[in-house]
Structure 1
């Protein structure tokens, strides 16, 4: 990847990761806020690209949205420290505190900035925004939350993430709505157990990493490029398997954390929540299959001069990811059951 040889960017990536550790290991709300501010100020230089006006616009929008959430978060902390010193957070303040974290991670109903900003980013920055940037708000949300409010947010995330991606033609926007849909599962998993959330987050990040790397390598940004590019059917099958894994279809790796969560929800008689999450995942699967089916079945004119060579190292890496996606679930069941 291009950032390996840029010392400035490496420095900001280090600060980005270090600031997340500051926030999640702090024992005070002020410490968490400081970590998030360092995180914000380290991510913006990574987004900005002088040669791309869309990335500059995305960095400005990201700064404004995150600043509004941070101001609200700081205001609530100071109110708690100065005015409500002898009281716990009441119902209203808890919802406000949760809302600031939801806004920071791009959750519904505060998600409107997320697809717009991600459209102007490179694949690497989009990957970080969909994965790493969600860690701090989600961990802080797990410290103090209103359960009924979070249940409503989970349902809204599942519905908007599924329905919002149906008529998208931009791959980055599609993955952003997929991220919103997966956020509903992640919020449910962090309420259940932090270990379950960690497993879900790692598997989701791996699948996202593969897709973002493939799109970056082939320089894809829109659906029609998947049809026009002279890709081998084996490469298209790799896309199909990883899309299906991201949607949570057995026997792929992405089904494992969803399987554990479905089992937990059934044991706790949360049938309606389970039904909504599964139905919305089916809509996402329909969308993924539609993309893959179109690219596999439609015949397009392939000029002889348009040949795409794939390096051996890249092919080995892609085969490794494919093996992990396809055989991850059968192998992991030996460890869990």
Structure 2
């Protein structure tokens, strides 16, 4: 790791921590901007034209989201706009977070960006970069925005499912999977903050385990069948288990938080939201199974491969067995 990479990684973490610990909207905005300006150089460290283009796209989208967030903050401290447009302020803030997270209907930038960057940057984008916006949505969003939050959750779940059906790029497919999971996390904003933290923690563990194995096997090819050929049988088994867990297939770990959300939504009679989330998850499982069949059909060719790291194996075991421990 070069000194510049270490510096940007440190400020990346610091920006998120500043946002989470701030009690003023201005410090919240400053922390998220510090996080953004630290992640952009990390994305462009390889000096690849594709990654540079992705970093510019990411910067433009995040700048739009930050501008809307700053607008909402300025309106909240102006007595005239606060009295006349008080209903618009949380709406503008919510839209800014939707843009930053890449949720539907503002999701068009996420798959191209994730398909153009390395696996380690995909991992950061899918996990750490979502911490601040999601936590802010959980603590700041008022309860009178139930309809808007529910529509966004339903759209994200359905778009995340249907968008991955015709994808042949592995990282773009995982981007649509991330959009679908954002829909589930947004639905928890209407239920329980503890349920949101649990779901997000499970999602982070599964995503890190999957992308670590894919990165360790140097799977940079764009087409799914071609890139899967380089997997060893052990890596194939680990990826298959993690993918099933990511899709929420019982009895893997990813099923537990989805089952808890379904139970909570049904107890609150939110059947439309619940059915939309289930439909999106079933579509996700369809292309997860399709990906697994591609794995199996490509096992006849066995080139040289790297063994997966020990801690990735431990995360795989956690993804597969933790559901049994939770049930017990």
Report the TM-score range of the alignment, normalised by the length of the smaller protein: over 0.9
The root-mean-square deviation of aligned C-alpha atoms, in Å, is 1.8
1:212 Cα deviation after fit: 0.7
2:222 is the alignment partner of 1:225: no
Q: 2:198: which partner in 1?
A: 199
Q: 1:52: which partner in 2?
A: 48
For 2:326 and 2:121, the matched residues in 1 are separated by 30
1:53 Cα deviation after fit: 0.6
Q: Report SS of the residue matched to 1:192.
A: coil
2:107 is the alignment partner of 1:106: no
Q: 2:117: which partner in 1?
A: 121
Query: Which structure has more RCO (C-alpha within 8 Å, separation ≥ 6)?
Result: 2
Mark the CA change 1:258 to 1:71 in structure 2 (over 3 Å): closer, same or farther: same
Mark the CA change 1:86 to 1:241 in structure 2 (over 3 Å): closer, same or farther: closer
Q: 2:174: which partner in 1?
A: 175
1:268-293 superposed Cα distances (whole Å, 9 cap, x missing partner): 11122111111211111111111112
User: Which shows bigger deviation, 245-254 or 11-20?
Assistant: 11-20
Q: 1:317: which partner in 2?
A: 311
Mark the CA change 1:210 to 1:89 in structure 2 (over 3 Å): closer, same or farther: farther
Asked if the contact 1:226–1:295 (Cα under 8 Å) also holds between the matched residues in 2, the reply is no
For 2:82 and 2:167, the matched residues in 1 are separated by 50
Q: Report SS of the residue matched to 1:110.
A: coil
2:269 is the alignment partner of 1:275: no
Give aligned pairs, total.
Answer: 323
Asked if the contact 2:213–2:235 (Cα under 8 Å) also holds between the matched residues in 1, the reply is no
Q: 2:132: which partner in 1?
A: 136
2:323 is the alignment partner of 1:326: no
Asked if the contact 2:191–2:265 (Cα under 8 Å) also holds between the matched residues in 1, the reply is no
Mark the CA change 1:257 to 1:53 in structure 2 (over 3 Å): closer, same or farther: same
1:149-172 superposed Cα distances (whole Å, 9 cap, x missing partner): 011101110110000011111111
1:202-252 superposed Cα distances (whole Å, 9 cap, x missing partner): 1101111111111111111331234432622x4322211111100001110
1:307 Cα deviation after fit: 2.6
For 2:287 and 2:296, the matched residues in 1 are separated by 14
Q: 1:161: which partner in 2?
A: 160
Unaligned runs of 5+ in 1: none
1:266-305 residue pairs with structure 2 within 5 A?
266-297=266-297, 300-302=300-302
Correspondent of 2:73 among 66, 77, 85: 77
For 2:23 and 2:85, the matched residues in 1 are separated by 17
Q: Report SS of the residue matched to 1:191.
A: coil
1:95-142 superposed Cα distances (whole Å, 9 cap, x missing partner): 222101110111111111111111221111111111111111112222
2:12 is the alignment partner of 1:13: no
Asked if the contact 1:252–1:329 (Cα under 8 Å) also holds between the matched residues in 2, the reply is yes
Mark the CA change 1:329 to 1:106 in structure 2 (over 3 Å): closer, same or farther: same
1:328 Cα deviation after fit: 0.5
Q: What is the TM-score with the length of structure 1 in the denominator?
A: 0.90
Q: Report SS of the residue matched to 1:87.
A: helix
1:333 Cα deviation after fit: 2.6
For 2:240 and 2:178, the matched residues in 1 are separated by 18
1:179-190 residue pairs with structure 2 within 5 A?
179-190=178-189
1:25 Cα deviation after fit: 1.7
Mark the CA change 1:88 to 1:212 in structure 2 (over 3 Å): closer, same or farther: farther
For 2:228 and 2:55, the matched residues in 1 are separated by 31
Q: Report SS of the residue matched to 2:249.
A: coil
Q: Report SS of the residue matched to 2:269.
A: coil
Mark the CA change 1:269 to 1:229 in structure 2 (over 3 Å): closer, same or farther: same
Asked if the contact 2:217–2:306 (Cα under 8 Å) also holds between the matched residues in 1, the reply is no
